[in-house]
Structures are given as structure tokens and as C-alpha cells.
């Protein structure tokens, strides 16, 4: 009887020991984000993390994209205990950190080299409060078929803006209705290249560095190498449709357009071969320098699962999370040969080495930095930009107005 009792106790002990890790592993992480059911990379990230972390479930709290900043702030102010909040705008994180909603991250031993410096935008006083996992930086798209037909060498990952302008003029054929390049009407598409040096920003109160790019654009417009701003505004022509028409040789645009073009080739909207290169660079600026925006993730200071939340966001920003993000054509924040190989393996991505090389930017500056009165600065700069582009004022006059009006904000 004693022997049977001992065996029974041993079995019960083994069962209890086996049950402990199961209970510890069966956990749910709540992640507040936007458009969760319609964003492919969110679905891919969830599936990949759950597959590599048995017993852990990612549960998205879905907030409408247009209301995200307001509703997420309301949730945090109300004491919401969701574990992770995704960061849509950098200033959201800065505000949440100031209010005590963001948990400081211990990144000792965590490799952040693949973020090529973008992670500093999520740090306050040297302390990291979020990890980036997406970075939609800008590249140069080109129509390979047009270049081949013209017998002109393809763009490269190391071109200056002067070389780009020369190439655009060379590819222009007015008789055939072919434009050498295309500029969307946004400020970012025309002059944001000035911030790629990592020194200038659009909130530094001095806009003299934009003059070169406005002059470059106006010269190309005057030569007929690109459609005029007036015509684009009158027609309401979107850059995606313009390039898909097949009569534009080059297009500086955000990486997000890659997935659009892949889809266009699949559904027949366009049927030409295309590729990408790094955006051209100014003299003295490293080839492969670009600008863009970040998406990241922070841990809620009220989360009761901070260790597991850190495991998730550190995975999300690292190589494995980057592969999941890249698997659906989205651009991860992590830059490496391994991640680039994953991105270029997406069906429909150009097979040439130059396009693959464009996936490895040397540096990525922020389109707009976090800065005092940045919303007011944006309004002023965009107002003057519209008048310069419409030729209502000269670039010199517009830049002088930017300098004076922004300075007045701080008087």
C-alpha cells in the first residue's frame, strides 16, 4: 500500500511540474494598433510571433487609423492596461512619455545597429521608450523598359542630383510623350532631400538649403522633363496612376509604392518592367542616404506583462520580426543583408542587383522631426511651397517668407 501511495504521489508531482510551464506560457499580449484586420504586415507579424512562441497569443485592439492618436491617448489617460501601444507618429510617443505612459526600455545587450540611427527618434534624454519596426524611406523608381528602348544606361545607387537631372532630360522624348521624371505635388517629393544629410531639418528655422532643390525642379519643369505642377493640380493626377501609365522614366517616391506596383503588374494595371535605386544624393552626402517615417511599439507603463511585452517588441524590431514584416512587401526598420534578401524574395519584386542594393540605405533621416511648434511650422512651409510651385512667387521669395514667418513663431 505504501509503495502504491509513493507511486501515486510521484505521478502527481510530475503532473504538477509539467503543468507549471503550460500555465506560465498560456498568455495573451494585448497590442493597441490601427486597421489590424486590413493591414497585411500586422497579420504576418502575429502569425510569425505566435508560431515561434507557443502558448503566447497576440490580441490586437483595433482603433481606426484617422482617430488613433486621440483614442489611444484617451485609453492611456483612462488607465488602460493594454500591454503594447504601436506608435504612429513620433510626437505621440514623446507626449505619452512625458505623461508617464511609456515604460523605459532596458536595451543593454540589445543590438540596435540595424536601425541605422532611426531608433534615436524614440529616445528621450538617452533612454529608449519604443522600438521601430517599420521605416518607409524614399527610393527612386524607374521604368526599365523605357531605358532599354532608349538605349540609355539605367540609374544607379550612387547618383548625384545633378546627374539625375541630366538623366531625366536625356530620357525625355516630347514627340513620344515620354517624361524623364515625375514629381508629385507634395513638399516631400520636391525638396525634402535637403534633410538627407542628417544635419538639416524642416524645423530648424532656416530654409536656405531648399533653394537648390526648387531650382532643380523648376529647371526640369521648364525643359519639359516632367509634367508641370499646374497641370497635375488641374488634372488631380495621382503619382501612382501617372507612373503606371508607362510614359515616365523615373519617380522619386516612398518605398510603400513597391507593393502597389507589384499589385498593378499582377492585375494588369501596368505591364512594364521596373526597378528601384537609392534616391540621388547631394554633393558631400553619402550615397544611399534617404528620409522617411517610422512606425514603432512601446510598452504601456501599466502593463502587467512587461517582460513578455519586451520579448515581443524586441522580436518585432529585430531580424525575425523584420522578415515577417517584409514577407508581405512592407519595409521593416531593420536594415541587413538577410532582411533585404527576404524583401527581394517577395513575388513581383525586381530581380536585379541594383534594386536589391536599394534595400540597404546608408542612413534614414526623419521627414519631420519632433520639435516645438512643428504643426505651425508645417503649415507655413507648405503654404509657401504651394505658392513657389504655382510660380506665384520665386523660390528665393518663398524661402525668405519661410525664414521670416517661422522666426516670428518664436518671438
Q: Walk along the chain (411 residues) and give the pLDDT tens digit of each residue.
A: 444 445 444 544 444 444 433 334 589 999 999 999 888 899 999 999 999 999 999 999 999 988 999 999 999 999 999 999 999 989 899 999 999 999 999 999 999 999 988 999 999 999 999 999 998 899 999 999 999 999 999 999 999 999 999 999 999 999 999 999 999 999 999 999 999 999 999 999 999 999 999 999 999 999 999 999 999 999 989 999 999 999 999 999 999 899 889 989 999 999 999 999 999 999 999 999 999 999 999 999 999 999 999 999 999 999 999 999 998 888 999 999 988 998 899 899 999 999 999 999 999 999 988 888 988 999 999 999 999 999 999 999 999 999 999 999 999
Same domain, 250 and 374: yes
Dihedral sign of CA atoms 284, 288, 293, 296 in order: negative
Same domain, 69 and 126: yes
Same domain, 86 and 181: no
Same domain, 168 and 242: yes
Furthest-apart CA pair in the chain: how many Å?
Answer: 102
Q: Residue for cell digits 488613433?
A: 68
Same domain, 241 and 254: yes
How many angstroms separate the CA atoms of 57 and 194, rounded? 44
Number of domain units in the chain: 2
3-state helix, strand, coil in the chain (%, to 5): 50, 15, 35
Does residue 306 lie within any of the structural domains?
A: yes
Same domain, 171 and 316: no
Residues 6+ apart with CB under 8 A from 186: none
Name the residue among 81, 152, 119 with its Cα closest to residue 300: 81
Are 317 and 135 spatial neighbours (Cβ–Cβ below 8 Å)?
A: no
Same domain, 302 and 279: no
Mark which of 352, 380, 400 sits at the end of a domain: 352
Q: Residue for cell digits 526640369?
A: 220
How are beta strands 138-143 and 363-366 bridged, if at all?
unpaired
Same domain, 172 and 39: no
Does residue 66 lie within any of the structural domains?
A: yes
Same domain, 50 and 189: no
Same domain, 206 and 264: yes
Does residue 162 lie within any of the structural domains?
A: yes
Same domain, 207 and 314: no
Name the residue among 277, 284, 255, 250 with its Cα closest to residue 157: 277
Segments forming the whole domain that contains residue 212: 137-290+367-409
Helices 395-409, 374-389: axis angle to 10 degrees equals: 160
Does residue 9 lie within any of the structural domains?
A: no
Cα dihedral 22, 25, 30, 33, rounded to 10, equals: -130
Name the residue among 99, 107, 101 with its Cα closest to residue 127: 107
Does residue 18 lie within any of the structural domains?
A: no
Does residue 360 lie within any of the structural domains?
A: no
Q: Which SS3 state, helix, strand or coil, does residue 225 take?
A: coil
Does residue 15 lie within any of the structural domains?
A: no
Does residue 11 lie within any of the structural domains?
A: no
Same domain, 224 and 240: yes
CATH at residue 66: 3.40.190.10
Amino acid at each position: 500500500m505504501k509503495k502504491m501511495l509513493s507511486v501515486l504521489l510521484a505521478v502527481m508531482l510530475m503532473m504538477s511540474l509539467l503543468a507549471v510551464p503550460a500555465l506560465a506560457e498560456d498568455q495573451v499580449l494585448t497590442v493597441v494598433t490601427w486597421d489590424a484586420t486590413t493591414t497585411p504586415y500586422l497579420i504576418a507579424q502575429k502569425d510569425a510571433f505566435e508560431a515561434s512562441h507557443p502558448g503566447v497569443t497576440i490580441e490586437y485592439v483595433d482603433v481606426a487609423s484617422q482617430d488613433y492618436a486621440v483614442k489611444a491617448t484617451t485609453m492611456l489617460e483612462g488607465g488602460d492596461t493594454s500591454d503594447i501601444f504601436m506608435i504612429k507618429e513620433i510626437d505621440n510617443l514623446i507626449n505619452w512619455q512625458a505623461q508617464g505612459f511609456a515604460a523605459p526600455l532596458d536595451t543593454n545587450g540589445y543590438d540596435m545597429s540595424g536601425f541605422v540611427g532611426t531608433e534615436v527618434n524614440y529616445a528621450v534624454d538617452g533612454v529608449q521608450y519604443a522600438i521601430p519596426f517599420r521605416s518607409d524611406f524614399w527610393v527612386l523608381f524607374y521604368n526599365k523598359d523605357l531605358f532599354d528602348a532608349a538605349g540609355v544606361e539605367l540609374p544607379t545607387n550612387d547618383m548625384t542630383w545633378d546627374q539625375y537631372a541630366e538623366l531625366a532630360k536625356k530620357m525625355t522624348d516630347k514627340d513620344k510623350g515620354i517624361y524623364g521624371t515625375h514629381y508629385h505635388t507634395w513638399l516631400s517629393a520636391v525638396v525634402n532631400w535637403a534633410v538627407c544629410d542628417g544635419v538639416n531639418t524642416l524645423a530648424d528655422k532656416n530654409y536656405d538649403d531648399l533653394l537648390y532643390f526648387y531650382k532643380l525642379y523648376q529647371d526640369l519643369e521648364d525643359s519639359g522633363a516632367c509634367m508641370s505642377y499646374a497641370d497635375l493640380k488641374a488634372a488631380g493626377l495621382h503619382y501612382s496612376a501617372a507612373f503606371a501609365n508607362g510614359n515616365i522614366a523615373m519617380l522619386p517616391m516612398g518605398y510603400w509604392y513597391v507593393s502597389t506596383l507589384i499589385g498593378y503588374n499582377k492585375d494588369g494595371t501596368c505591364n512594364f518592367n521596373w526597378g528601384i535605386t537609392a534616391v540621388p544624393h547631394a554633393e558631400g552626402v553619402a550615397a544611399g542616404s534617404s528620409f522617411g517615417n517610422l512606425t514603432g511599439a512601446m510598452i504601456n507603463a501599466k502593463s502587467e506583462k512587461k517582460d513578455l511585452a519586451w520579448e515581443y517588441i524586441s522580436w518585432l524590431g529585430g531580424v525575425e520580426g523584420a522578415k515577417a514584416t517584409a514577407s508581405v512587401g512592407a519595409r521593416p526598420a531593420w536594415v541587413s543583408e538577410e532582411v533585404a534578401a527576404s524583401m527581394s524574395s517577395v513575388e513581383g519584386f525586381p530581380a536585379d542587383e541594383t534594386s536589391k542594393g536599394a534595400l540597404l540605405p546608408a542612413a534614414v533621416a526623419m521627414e519631420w522631426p519632433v520639435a516645438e511648434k512643428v504643426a505651425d511650422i508645417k503649415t507655413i512651409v507648405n503654404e509657401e511651397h504651394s505658392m513657389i510651385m504655382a510660380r506665384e512667387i520665386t523660390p528665393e521669395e518663398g524661402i525668405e517668407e519661410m525664414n521670416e514667418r517661422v522666426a516670428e513663431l518664436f518671438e
